[in-house]
Amino acid sequence: MVRRTSVVVAHRLSTVRNSDVIAVLDKGALVEKGSHASLMAKGLEGKVSWTVCLSTLDQYPFYSSVVLVSPQSGSLLVGERGIQISGGQKQQENILFGKEDATAEEVVEAAVAANAHGFISQLPQGYDTQVRSLVGDRMALLIQTLSAVAVSFTMGLVIAWRLALVMISMQPLIILSFYARRVLLMKMSAKGIKAQLESSKLAAEAVGNLRTVTAFSSQSRILRLFELAQLGPRREGIRHSWFAGVGLGSSQGLTCCSWAITLLYGGHLISQGMISSKAIFQTFLILVSTGRVIADVGAMTTDLTRGADTVASVFAVFDRKTPIEPDNADGQRPESIRGAIELRGVHFAYPTRSEAIVLRGLSLSIEARKSTALVGASGSGKSTIIALIERFYDPIRGAINIDGVDIRSYNLRSLRRLISLVGQEPTLFAGTVRENIVYGTDHDSVSDAEVEAAARAANAHEFICGLSDGYQTSCGERGVQLSGGQKQRIAIARAIVRNPKILLLDEATSALDSMSEKVVQEALERVMVRRTSVVVAHRLSTVRNSDVIAVLDKGALVEKGSHASLMAKGSEGKYYGLVNLQQAPHQSQL
């Protein structure tokens, strides 16, 4: 920052005490400005000036949309004209065929009804659930198609078997052309999507890092990269259009040729007096779309295979037996426990990383109604012990006992009612403050007085009363309406209201600022009294008052004792080294 204009945003004030100028903001206003020394001497005096930034909204959204699509105006006009012609085609057919007698009209309506699945099958394509696609849409379409084909062939052979045989003999050619066109377009569409991924990824990164892009004035560079990334998709789009046009023309041409041959042969049969004109149109309308329907269903074989694989995987999940049964009917259901915890020769590795052993024969005793802190370097197994006590996992070898009973002998739900966990990232739900506090309990059995007492113990009552609706204030999705410290205090109140015998704290203050950490730490020290408390901490200053401190290293217990006894070991102790390592940066700042 030497000889440069530097603007520093800092939360820890010790990092900016050497800045030339320090500006203090409060509620969007500048309240103090000066050097560190002058501000410390000045106290709380200072003038306040407000700044308001106004932004204008775009007043012409329709004009913007017209400008956006103007390069494609020619294509839009051509498409509009084609839609108009296509829309009038059906009405022209109705005029031509409307002169047939009532019997022929009924046959046409029956044929349209029999093949209505060709339209209906297009409706569920918006559903992207493969299981639904197999057991509902695709399977239903397959059955409907087979039924319609069987009925169509039977009716055609009954009405005019000679003409029906000619039409049926030409169906394979029509089926092949439509099938090849559809499969080819599906493959090319997949290639086009794949080609778009790079440009889409670039656009998403640019939008997600908009501040960085704007700060370095890299908009032009991003646009150039995006244009280069679009070259591949553009080429794929052109190839896709050519193949689509040629394929559609070929399939439609073959279809029209088959119609012409059918009508020509039908005219020959009429001239020979073998069939009537009514029979020609009946047979023709019944069998005319059969080949295309079969081709459409044949192109869905990939969807059927993928759906079958998905269904198999879903049922594999349903049929999987969990090794940890939460509702073990034979398990002990204690009404209360003392809270003495003992780990005996525990070996553990997470299921997803079975080759990485986290705990290596760990043996640790945690006394009832006392606080035990677990400290050590990252990856030493501190949070793993919390997970094992909650029985999120079972150890590979060894045992975990609570009050001398193997944890696997308890009914898991009954045991967890006596244990509360406060994690590093508090989890709140989209409900009121009160609903989040009583979460995990019988809501009707918890009185307002108990909720308020838990909030007071967690240092949360005052700020809750300051909210717009008090305890009925909505926390928002995942608690977005509250600060980190407020969410953590509500999580602590939620743990307290259950009156747990064992309290597990997994780095409950590590993600908080200094002020919030102090308030939360005071609440934790208050609620840990006369409870078995297991505290995982990274900042050693927060656990120095714990009854017992256990030092872990690479999944093994290396030291255990009080803060004073561990510090008395001097430089030979592991805990002593960790404390000095954390104090060194603070001493250098002083």
Between residues 103 and 199, the one the model is more confident about: 199
Res 83 pLDDT > 60: no
* Confidence category of residue 114, pLDDT binned at 50, 70, 90: very low
On whether the CB atoms of residues 337 and 401 are closer than 8 A, the answer is: no
Q: How confident is the model at residue 51 (pLDDT cuts 50, 70, 90)?
A: very low
Q: Per CATH, which fold does 100-316 belong to?
A: ABC transporter transmembrane region fold (1.20.1560)
Tell me: the pLDDT tens digits for 141-198? 667 777 777 888 888 888 888 888 888 888 787 777 767 766 666 666 666 666 677 7
Q: Is the pTM of this model over 0.85?
A: no
The predicted structure's pLDDT at residue 587: 47
Kindly state the percentage of the chain with pLDDT values over 90: 13
Partner residues linked to 24 by β-bridges: 32
Strand-strand pairing, 341-348 and 419-422: unpaired
* pLDDT tens digits for range 296-305: 666 565 555 5
Q: What are phi and psi of 386, to 5 degrees?
A: -60, -45
**What's the rounded Cα separation, in Å, for the pair 166 and 268?**
13
Question: For residue 132, what pLDDT is reported?
Answer: 54
What CATH number belongs to 338-418+532-590? 3.40.50.300
| Mean pLDDT on 247-256 | 76
Of 160, 151, 108, 157, which Cα lies nearest the Cα of 267? 160
The least confident of 45-59, 172-186, 373-387 is: 45-59
CATH 1.20.1560.10 segments of the chain: 100-316
How many whole angstroms from its chain centre is CA 549? 39
Complete edge-to-edge strand list for the sheet that includes strand 397-402:
359-366, 341-348, 397-402, 405-406
- pLDDT computed for residue 185 by the predictor: 66
Q: Confirm if 523 and 453 have CB atoms less than 8 A apart.
A: no
pLDDT band with cut points at 50, 70 and 90 for residue 107: very low
Position 50 scores a pLDDT of 29
Q: Are 168 and 348 in contact (CB under 8 A)?
A: no
pLDDT band, very low/low/confident/very high, at 210 (cuts 50, 70, 90): confident
CA-based nearest residue to 145, from 286, 322, 346, 298 = 298
Of 433, 390, 434, the C-alpha closest to 412 is 390
Residues above pLDDT 70, as percent of the chain: 72
Question: CB of 299 within 8 A of CB of 182?
Answer: yes
What is the rounded distance in angstroms from the CA atom of residue 38 to the CA atom of residue 47? 15
Which whole number is the average pLDDT over 377-404?
A: 91
Residues 557, 551 contacting (CB under 8 angstroms): yes
Where along the chain do the CATH 3.40.50.300 domains lie? 338-418+532-590
pLDDT band at residue 522 under the 50/70/90 scheme:
confident
**How far is residue 318's CA from residue 310's CA, in Å, rounded to a whole number?**
13
Q: What are phi and psi of 363, to 5 degrees?
A: -125, 125
Q: If we measure between CA atoms, which residue out of 133, 124, 122 comes closest to residue 296?
A: 122
- Region 230-243: mean pLDDT is 77
Q: Where residue 97 falls among pLDDT bands split at 50, 70, 90?
A: very low
Side by side, the strands of the sheet bearing 49-50 are 22-26, 29-34, 49-50
- Mean pLDDT on 373-392: 91
pLDDT score, position 187: 66
